[in-house]
Chains A and B, each alone.
Chain A
Amino acid sequence: MKILTTAVVAGVVALSVMFTGPQLMTTSTAAAADFKPAVIYDMGGKFDKSFNEGVWNGVEKFTKETGVEVMEFEVTNETQREQAMRRMAERGATIVLGVGFAQADAIAKVAADYPDKQFSIIDVGWLDAPNLRQYVFKEHEGSYLVGVAAALASKTDKVGFVGGMDIPLIRKFACGYVGGVKSVNGSAAVYQNMTGTTPSAWNDPAKGAELTRSQIDRGADVVYHAAGGTGVGVIQAAADAGKLAIGVDSNQNGMAPGSVLTSMLKRVDVAAYETFKDAMSGSFSSGVKVLGVAEGGVDWAFDENNASLITASIKSAVEKARSDILSGKVVVHDFMSDTKCPY
């Protein structure tokens, strides 16, 4: 269960919190001298090539810049989440960062028990504690951007989407993507498939490849995946067929250079880095932080691996969509706000 399971932000509650906007409250500031940050990675481990590793990148960046060591722990069983958070607090950590929705229950309990410590969690937006910061991402905005790129890169006017587990969050990816495609070409067809309804759908590259091939057989020539480990199969199948894939979460352009059109970036590293930076400078605040295009939380990837695929017209169109989202001219629909997709 890679990126996306961990990426699972939950339900309507999260959304209602998201859109009421973050209520920011500055909590007690820790003196820089006794500043001790800690991070609890989840089951995937910090080198999972996706979600946890993204956080790790942010942590590394922070350590490199400030020279402050970050205490780390990787949980291996269910009980350890809460235990690790308590241990970090007892060992003098001044801020503890939790990674992924699975740690929500644990961090809620521990944050209540240590009111003078600071806590932060990624991909959770429905908790409420005066010393807890929560991060959620606007995955639909990033998906919209890659949708624009997909529609322009497609020669058949047919594009595909392969999701992991069929949950509202993944439909949120899909809906934003369809929105982006249709904004360019209203008559383009978007084929959507979910890999499964169980967590194993996050890690089934064979089935991901199968679904991709079937979409390609139906005429799709660009396939976007939001399927964690399953996506490896999606990218592979697209590359084998000489078609294009779109990566997700981290920059996957390099996985099959020349065959990955772009990647939808979900910058969990930004969340990790920002948490520790704010805590260090004493500007830590609680509440829910929503990271979209405007906050640099989601984006599309453009680097040397896909430079030959992204033509000038694609680039300018995506950049325009980006600035339209920034200016508010385009509001990408969030599937999870009403579990409907209007596109």
Chain B
Amino acid sequence: MNASSLPRWIDIGLLPVLNLIAALTVAGVIIAIIGENPFVAMGVMIKGAFVYDGALGYTLFYTTNFIFTGLAVAVAFHAMLFNIGGEGQAMIGGLGVGLVVLFLDSVLPPLLVVILAVPAAAAFGAVWGVIPGWLQARRGSHIVITTIMFNFIASSIMVWLLAGMLMAPGQMSPETRSFADGINLPLVYEVLQMAGFSVSRSPLNLSFVIALLACFGVWYLIWRTKLGYIIRATGHSERATIYAGHDPAKIIMLVMAISGALAGMMSLNEILGVQQRVILNFTSGYGFTGIAVALMGRNHPIGIVLASLLFGALYQGGAELDFEFQTITREMVLMIQGLIILFSGALAYLFMPAVVRIYSSLRKPTGSG
């Protein structure tokens, strides 16, 4: 009993929807228990995520984070590598952006600094991905363990730098000084306002476009290039790769570099898009949520965009619940998000046996007849 015995639309369409419905049902029951109407709450969430002025911008802003980290997990997954280090890779990516900007913003024109900062985010993230990749490929240290550990190392490095040599003088919170004026990715609402549309402000910025380009890039790489084929082949069988004349170790390192680069680029959205300084904890768990996004999106860019949109809407609409109801606290919102992650991530195939049974019993009459 596995996914291949089902048509694709059930695996990538119906099952995630069932998981989502199950999660929302459980969440709804809990909301009802604390005395609120779950349907009203649902309405508030949807309105909060898409309807009010600027809501869509915030939703897409969070979506951008999830696309990057989701893609990072997905790319590695195609080589059967479970990259749990998206969080750390994103942090180090942010460090890359910060270092480039802080060193160059007084000497180079802003546009050039921004153009240099983008590859820096990817490069730093890639380095943080490739080290566990090398350890896996050449030393046999399991990638799951090393990437988890590298999250902690990244976090410690950030604390050490931000509370130490990178800390802005004259203030006490661990963060760098602000970037010079003009060093940020263009904000979508500003661009649209210049073009004559009336859009309310939101942090949505150019990195959303970069994220969509990355989606296309990943799709092209995995399904349309020879390298993508080798990556998938390595995932299925290392020995087949060797037989075909490729070095699986190199593929593993390369895949981890790409994965790390994608995670690292998440920092573009937060650091170069909004904060304009390097702060601690800007990753806020997006790297980990990326795992659920990739699982739910079935490691396909289109699925990841949709799953990211769902999680983006949850983040934004969830905050709105906190505004609207005194009884629904942020812990409650966290629980609803947690339920969806639980059902779509950890329990992704919970309904599979039932669906397979129903599907095959429906098929039999027509199939045999």
Contacts and interface: CB of A to CB of B under 8 A. Distances in A.
A5 B274 contact: no
Interface stretch (A67-75, A235-243, A266-274, A293-301): A67-75
B178 to A, nearest CB: 8
Given A73-B322, A91-B323, A199 B163 contact: yes
B251 to A, nearest CB: 35
Interface string A68-94: 010111101111100110110011000
A8 B58 contact: no
A9 B173 CA distance: 9
Interface in B269-289: 270, 274-275, 279-282, 284
Nearest to A87: B323
Nearest to A70: B326
A5 B279 CA distance: 14
Given A10-B170, A76-B334, A71 B323 contact: yes
Given A78-B279, A199-B280, A10 B171 contact: yes
A198 B174 contact: yes
Interface in B136-195: 159-160, 163-164, 170-174
A307 interface: no
B330 interface: yes
A136 to B, nearest CB: 13
A11 B284 contact: no
Interface in B250-296: 270, 274-275, 279-282, 284
A150 interface: no
A72 B326 contact: yes
Contacts of A102: 173
B16 interface: no
B329 interface: yes
Residue among B53, B329, B330 facing the most chain A CB atoms (10 A cut-off): B330
Given A74-B322, A91-B323, A198-B160, A79 B174 contact: no
B319 interface: yes
B170 A78 contact: no
A96 interface: no
Residue among A69, A79, A165, A197 facing the most chain B CB atoms (10 A cut-off): A79
Contacts of A80: 319
B203 interface: yes
Contacts of A74: 322, 329-330
Contacts, number: 71
Contacts of B330: 45, 74, 76
Interface residues of A, number: 34
A45 B329 CA distance: 10
Contacts of B173: 5, 8, 10, 101-102
B319 A11 contact: no
A76 B323 CA distance: 13
Contacts of A9: 172
Contacts of A91: 323
Contacts of B58: 79, 83
Contacts of A72: 326
A169 B173 CA distance: 11
Residue among A76, A87, A165, A168 facing the most chain B CB atoms (10 A cut-off): A76
B20 to A, nearest CB: 22
B120 to A, nearest CB: 20
Given A73-B322, A74-B322, A199 B172 contact: no
A11 B172 contact: yes
Contacts of B159: 198-200
Contact of B282 (A69, A78, A86): A78
A214 B279 CA distance: 34
Q: Which 10 A-B pairs have the closest CB atoms?
A: A10-B171, A11-B170, A77-B284, A8-B172, A167-B172, A198-B163, A198-B159, A74-B330, A11-B171, A10-B172
Interface of B: 53-54, 58, 61, 159-160, 163-164, 170-174, 201, 203, 270, 274-275, 279-282, 284, 319, 322-323, 326, 329-330, 333-334
Given A80-B319, A84-B319, A198-B174, 20 more contacts: A10-B172, A12-B170, A45-B330, A73-B319, A74-B322, A74-B329, A76-B330, A77-B284, A78-B270, A78-B274, A78-B275, A78-B279, A78-B281, A78-B282, A79-B274, A86-B54, A87-B323, A165-B172, A198-B163, A199-B163
